Amino acid sequence: MKQLMASPFGTFIKAFLTTVLSMAIVDGDIFSIDFQGLKNIVNVALVSTLPIVINWINPAYKSYGTGKG
């Protein structure tokens, strides 16, 4: 589990869930979100995790990029 959370996928999951929670809190009542609000939250979460994907495919990024090794 430790290795999974240190991988690009784990980092993506952590950032995605943090953004979803943050947006739900900002949106107001986290227990009454309509479909449009849910779509907005997911869109923002996906956009906020783009730097993780970019770092993952960047061979110069040594933490978990394709140049690791």
pLDDT at 6 over 80: no
pLDDT for residue 67 is more than 70 = no
Q: What is the mean pLDDT of residues 17-27?
A: 82
Asked if residue 27 lies in contact with residue 41, where contact means CB atoms within 8 angstroms, the answer is yes
> How confident is the model at residue 66, as a pLDDT?
53
Residues near 59 by beta carbon (within 8 Å), at least 6 away in sequence: 65, 66, 67
Encode pLDDT of 25-59 as tens digits. 887 766 777 888 788 888 888 888 888 888 888 87
- Map out the domains of the chain as residue ranges: 2-57
Confidence (pTM): 0.65
E strand spans, the chain: none
Task: Give dist(CA 59, CA 39) in Å, integer.
Answer: 32
pLDDT of residue 69 exceeding 70, the answer is no
